Copies of this chain bind each other. A is one copy, B any other.
């Protein structure tokens, strides 16, 4: 089944693959209906891309069981994937699930088709063994998560007093363990503020031989500006950016000491020679509860292999800042724009400078002392024999906060994949053991919720 799902190239960011992305929603709908779930497709309207309107893939709302005496759990997952091509450095065909050394390689294997199928297999197992499901299950699966979940939040808001009105717990399996072997529960995520910086100065790209030396080159300006943003060890140089960080309580501080994490192993696993810090706690704090700034690339400059002796006319730098409590996106955006404009003034270039604010998402930190987290922890213990670590994540899953606010109830992030699953990267995989234990974990979680 995972091979079938991976073979559907549901790349939401690629308009040419929109029909496969829509197909993937229908495919999952059939699987859920086979389990007895009632499903509806929620049409989310159109999207404008390259000046053209194309249909958004629908979101799927499903319901299995409608017993007013039972509690209700909402399961969220996404059916779309990041782009992938063999040429990017994959060892196998990215859309052909390939087993090597008990690992299942394929785009979406871990992010997030594998975990979505774990839910389906968990229910299948309960059916097969004629175990009554002790809780009503609602499903919300979307296919635009990798492209900003366009349309989802609006649709969910409209369902606040309908589909979402009786949800008692939400569970999301769309993140990763901290390491390769120990399970964990996730109770925090960073938010994000993204930015573009455009520099233009000449009408069109020019020949660097003919015009070199007598132009204020936009790309040189842009590189200089972006080089002012961070220090070598990725500390952000924007004044005030660290001022609003939530103070760490003793209780929170103590949590870090218990966490199973080996800095040296982590360093080796990503192939780095040295990290900015070798202290476990400092590293995790920087990763989870401090902002960071990453420069992603430049649009408009020459990016191919080989040489092209061009002076690019319009270049756009892309960077983003991950934000944490209690940073506010509005204030962060203002701080960044002010800083960029101040720095630009000192450059003395006649070129046109246009910093722009992109999308943002809020950070999320949840209380873990509730039945939802407790059920997750007991399920993990049952399957893995150890208590899970309570961790946070550096990345952003904006819909987490939306579910929490719209249902007014606990959202649990229950990761199934290992830290080295390489979501968003080349050679994404899910370990076979994680996939199988994932089914068991979700099944146990459903049964544990009975005890509430």
Contacts and interface: CB of A to CB of B under 8 A. Distances in A.
Interface of A: 13, 89, 176, 190, 192, 194, 201-217, 219-221, 223-224, 226-227, 229-230, 232-234, 270-277, 283, 286-287, 290-299, 301-312, 318, 320, 322, 347-352, 358-359, 393-396, 422-427
A297 B303 contact: yes
Contact of A394 (B213, B233, B270, B320): B213
A215 to B, nearest CB: 6
Nearest to A200: B271
A295 B223 CA distance: 10
B350 A273 contact: yes
Contact of A425 (B176, B204, B287, B307): B204
A307 B291 CA distance: 19
Given A290-B213, A301-B296, A394-B213, A232 B347 contact: yes
A207 B423 contact: yes
A275 B214 contact: yes
Contacts of A306: 13
A288 to B, nearest CB: 9
Given A212-B294, A214-B287, A310-B424, 4 more contacts: A194-B307, A220-B226, A220-B227, A303-B303
Contacts of A304: 299
Given A303-B299, A424-B310, A233 B210 contact: no
A48 to B, nearest CB: 12
Given A204-B422, A393-B209, A296 B307 contact: yes
B234 A215 contact: yes
Nearest to A194: B307
A214 B348 CA distance: 33
Contacts of A224: 227, 232
Most buried by B among A194, A296, A302, A320: A296
A276 B216 contact: yes
A320 B208 contact: yes
Contacts of A290: 213
A216 B233 contact: yes
Contact of A348 (B201, B204, B232, B301): B232
B322 A216 contact: no
23 contacts: A176-B210, A205-B424, A207-B395, A207-B423, A211-B394, A213-B291, A214-B275, A214-B277, A219-B296, A220-B232, A221-B232, A224-B232, A227-B227, A273-B352, A296-B312, A297-B298, A297-B308, A297-B312, A298-B302, A298-B303, A299-B303, A307-B359, A308-B318
Nearest to A286: B213
Q: Which of A201, A211, A283 has the most CB of B within 10 A?
A: A211
**Which of the listed residues A274, A297, A298, A395 has the most CB atoms from chain B within 10 Å of its own CB?**
A297
Nearest to A207: B424
Nearest to A352: B273
Nearest to A230: B220
Given A204-B425, A296-B312, A423-B207, A302 B322 contact: no
